[in-house]
């Protein structure tokens, strides 16, 4: 019974991913268009299938599907990672998601992103990404960090510290950007 329940949950997750792609990809003409043409969606679909087998102790099959996805799509999502339904990996090429990573729903990940580790250790070594996070192209988030809900990671940033919810970080290493630019002009500067 659990096997059937988990299979149905996997199908629900795929459906949620498809809907989210259609919402977040301006080039998507329809959900069918996404289903047949999006490399990021295909890589996520292969992850969902491999994760299903991983969770049901068929690790050799999960690893085979994972390997096939790496070759076909140039995207490396470990089957042990935990990715909630409704995640978008836009373009996908060059994206790496490590085995102890978790990603919340509504998150948008651009190409070339690495959710990796800083050193080889046992246990938790990859980031936990909250919900509705945007991770720019080429960004690297390294170590067992927490990226808060609604955070934004700038393109090519290297994140080595926790990121608070509703915060935008940029740079190498990534640092928070102020939410508002308070530019006050003196009256004598106008004249």
* Predicted model pTM: 0.89
Q: Which residues of 170-181 are buried (b: 16+ CB within 10 A; e: fewer)?
A: beeebeeeeeee
Domain 2-177 bears CATH identifier 2.160.10.10: yes
Task: Output the pLDDT for position 26.
Answer: 78
CA torsion, ordered 50, 104, 11, 37, to nearest 10 deg: -80
In the sheet that 102-103 helps form, which strands lie side by side, from edge to edge?
82-83, 102-103, 128-129, 146-147
In degrees, rounded to 5, the angle at the alpha carbon of residue 126 between the alpha carbons of residues 23 and 105 is 20
Question: What is the spatial order of strands in the sheet that 108-109 belongs to?
Answer: 88-89, 108-109, 134-135, 152-153, 168-170, 175-177
* pLDDT at residue 185, rounded to an integer: 43
Q: What is the model's pLDDT at position 29? A: 80
Domain boundaries, the chain: 2-177
β strands within the chain, DSSP E = 76-77, 82-83, 88-89, 96-97, 102-103, 108-109, 114-116, 128-129, 134-135, 140-142, 146-147, 152-153, 158-159, 168-170, 175-177
Question: pLDDT tens, position by position, for the chain (191 residues)?
Answer: 888 888 999 999 999 999 998 888 777 788 887 888 889 999 999 999 999 999 999 999 999 999 999 999 999 999 999 999 999 999 889 999 999 999 999 999 999 999 999 988 889 999 999 999 999 999 999 999 999 999 999 999 999 999 999 999 999 999 998 653 454 544 444 44
Q: Which residues pair with 116 in a beta bridge?
A: 142
Q: How much is the pLDDT for 178?
A: 66
Non-local CB neighbours of 137 within 8 Å, separated by 6+ positions: 91, 110, 111, 112, 113, 155, 156
Distance separating alpha carbons of residues 96 and 8, to the nearest angstrom: 26
**What pLDDT does residue 48 have?**
97
Q: What is the pLDDT of residue 22?
A: 86
pLDDT of 31 reads 80
Assess whether the previous peptide bond of 128 is cis (omega < 30° from 0).
no
The whole-number pLDDT of residue 37 equals: 82
């Amino acid at each position: 019974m659990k096997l059937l329940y988990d299979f149905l949950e996997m199908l629900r997750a795929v459906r949620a991913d498809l809907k989210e792609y259609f919402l977040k990809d301006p080039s998507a003409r329809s959900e069918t268009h996404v289903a047949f043409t999006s490399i990021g969606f295909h890589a996520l679909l292969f992850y969902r299938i491999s994760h299903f087998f991983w969770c049901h102790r068929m690790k050799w099959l999960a690893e085979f599907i994972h390997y096939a996805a790496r070759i076909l799509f140039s995207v490396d999502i470990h089957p042990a990672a935990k990715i909630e339904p409704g995640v978008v990996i836009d373009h996908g090429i060059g994206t790496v998601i490590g085995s102890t990573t978790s990603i919340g729903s509504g998150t948008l990940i651009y190409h070339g992103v690495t959710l990796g580790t800083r050193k080889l250790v046992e246990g938790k070594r990859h980031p936990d990404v909250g919900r509705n996070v945007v991770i720019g192209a080429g960004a690297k988030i390294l170590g067992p960090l927490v990226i808060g809900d609604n955070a934004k990671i700038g393109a090519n940033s290297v994140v080595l510290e926790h990121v608070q919810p509703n915060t935008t970080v940029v740079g190498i290493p990534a640092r928070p950007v102020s939410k508002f630019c308070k530019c006050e002009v003196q009256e004598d500067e106008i004249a």
